[in-house]
Amino acid sequence: MELVFPFDPVKRAEVSESLVMKNDKRLYHRFRAAPYYGGIATADAVGCSFLCAYCWNYGRNLNPNHFGTYFSSENVASNLLSIARKKSFHLYRITGSEPILGDTSFKHLLNVLQILFRKDPHSIFILETNGFILGFKKELADHLKFKNIQIRISIKGADPVSFEKITGAKKEFFYYPFIALRELEEKGIKGWPAVTIDFFNDDEIQNLKTILKEYKIKSNLEFESLEDYPFVVENLKRRNITLKRYKHPI
Q: What's the rounded Cα separation, in Å, for the pair 216 and 226?
A: 28
Residue 245 lies in a domain: no
Higher pLDDT: 165 or 3? It is 165
Task: Write the pLDDT tens digit of every residue in 53-88.
Answer: 999 999 999 999 999 999 999 999 999 999 999 999
The answer on pLDDT for 2 being more than 90 is no
Residue 78 lies in a domain: yes
**Rounded average pLDDT over 99-104:** 98
Number of domains observed in the structure of the chain: 1
**pLDDT for residue 3:** 83
SS3 of 91, please? strand
Residue 246 lies in a domain: no
Q: What's the rounded Cα separation, in Å, for the pair 244 and 200?
A: 6
Query: CATH number for the domain including 127?
Result: 3.20.20.70
Residue 185 lies in a domain: yes
Q: What's the rounded Cα separation, in Å, for the pair 78 and 15?
A: 28
C-alpha closest to that of 162 among 244, 80, 58? 244
Q: pLDDT category, 250, cuts 50, 70, 90?
A: very low
Please, are residues 43 and 50 in contact by the beta-carbon 8 Å criterion? no
Close Cβ partners of 5 (under 8 Å, ≥ 6 residues apart): 168
Average pLDDT, the chain: 96
Please, are residues 132 and 173 in contact by the beta-carbon 8 Å criterion? yes
Rounded to the nearest 10 degrees, how much is the dihedral formed by the CA atoms of 126, 132, 137, 142? 20
Q: pLDDT category, 230, cuts 50, 70, 90?
A: very high
Task: Write the pLDDT tens digit of every residue in 188-206.
Answer: 999 999 999 999 999 999 9
**pLDDT for residue 1:** 67
Q: Are strands 21-22 and 25-34 parallel, antiparallel or unpaired?
A: antiparallel
Higher pLDDT: 134 or 244? It is 134
Instruction: Please give the model's pTM, rounded to 2 decimal places.
Output: 0.96
Q: Which residues of 15-25 are buried (b: 16+ CB within 10 A; e: fewer)?
A: bbbebbbeebb
Residue 248 lies in a domain: no
Residue 2 lies in a domain: no
- Amino acid, single-letter form, for residue 65: N
Q: Is residue 101 classed exposed, middle or buried when 0-12, 13-18 and 19+ CB atoms within 10 A define those classes?
A: buried
Instruction: Tell me phi and psi for residue 241, to 5 degrees.
Output: -105, 125
Which domain does 152 fall in, by range? Answer: 9-238
Residue 45 lies in a domain: yes
Residue 247 lies in a domain: no
- Amino acid, single-letter form, for residue 187: K
Task: Write the pLDDT tens digit of every residue in 117-151.
Answer: 999 999 999 999 999 999 999 999 999 999 999 99
